[in-house]
Structure 1
């Protein structure tokens, strides 16, 4: 059987909006898919009625095995689709699913979560995914919707042979995803991070959409400064990013989805802790490795974290 038509046994750990879309489309392509999530109502609905997925291409329902804890049953591919802050616990949760030949794919916003997985499992089985142009929501238990589905790029973290990364990409292409294996995943991670820092914290702090932040007389300059600082940091670290102008790069990105609300804003609307430490907060950490400061992103991160700490302390935001 050719790589392009290989059917795999796949476990998706973290079955929120994006994880559910991943699982549904992979199962619709014929892969043997199981999902693991602690949301009991969601798992029960999927087990009883299947997973319903709707989007620009229509609506379908597919049978997926659903579990609230991982069964002791190794699979070909484990997909960690949790938020960055939950990666460590999800990695521990996924251990019963991992056999000697299992590949682990981690897909999160921001920067740094793959290192957490590699420290636990080793980099020789780890692939890193970058998703761009996606938007999804859970309509109810067992029912998810996605607004767009642009591109997924996969790369080996350290030591994973490129042919194995290509196997993973081919499995996702069967599900209708624009998925490719790339040799320089760091460049793609940074290019996404540059866009994310431009809008994640500014939108979360103001309640504005991507397009509104982009054009706002007060927040627009802050957004562009955050992106430029991330771009400068990547270049200082020797990352081969392709964007020659960070401001033009993030404006082009924002123009494609002006009404979008970044995940950090959606989290704040629900009074949830966001992934800001792995997005805007990643820039000062990475900048320090090059002997640099990143005061714009450090300040934005501190403001977001102060609001989230107030919620945790049950104080007015």
Structure 2
């Protein structure tokens, strides 16, 4: 009987012969799903007499506890450009939204099935969406969604090599969030309960006659999220500011403690949607704020991610 601890997910650039990078995860993984269609022919006995394979879905969702370095290639793919090293600081690199996305491939192995395990590969894959979720008193969690255009259903991984999982620690929302800011005309200093940020590349499947797996086309990059914060005099003003269509800068700065690996998410032009709270007895009242990041003409992107990885 197979068990989840013996499920291994690994990744590398599509078409590469490099070692597979074993990925850390908390749940989920990309799969191969066969879809059968009944031709609905009339049967003299009044029974179904045929089912045909008409399409195959390739991909799936992976849940994670976010840690430094581990998901840099995932971020690179969903952002659509390369990490660029700051010329004056070799430890600092940044990445913005683009359209040049080197495809990936993912290897799934059930290590306790059979004597040597059984594997399949998701080929020509991209990350359609990535989300990070910050919650008070919890670990910084996230997820990413994989869409593929090919597969190998029975892959022999016996001759392949593997790079071990990264050893960086999962980020802690209580101790590793340096700063979370919401700033319009003035910086709002407030207690934030939860926040999330989602980068969605809006891939669209395009099935073709004669092919089982649909092609995937990248759409508009949308960056959005939600913030739950305490109701104060400052945050009460967010309702009128939303009505006035004012723009805000949203930033998230985090470091994994003594290791010093730092990630900074910056969204320079955000429009807010605000839902004012109601509550029952002894309830903490929190406005629900949604935000959408727009392209900034100076930065050329709706979101910029900076990372500092000390040597």
The answer, yes or no, to whether TM exceeds 0.5 is no
RCO greater where, 1 or 2, for CA within 8 Å and sep 6 or more? Answer: 2
Q: Normalized per residue, which structure has more helix?
A: 1
TM-score with structure 2 setting the length? 0.25
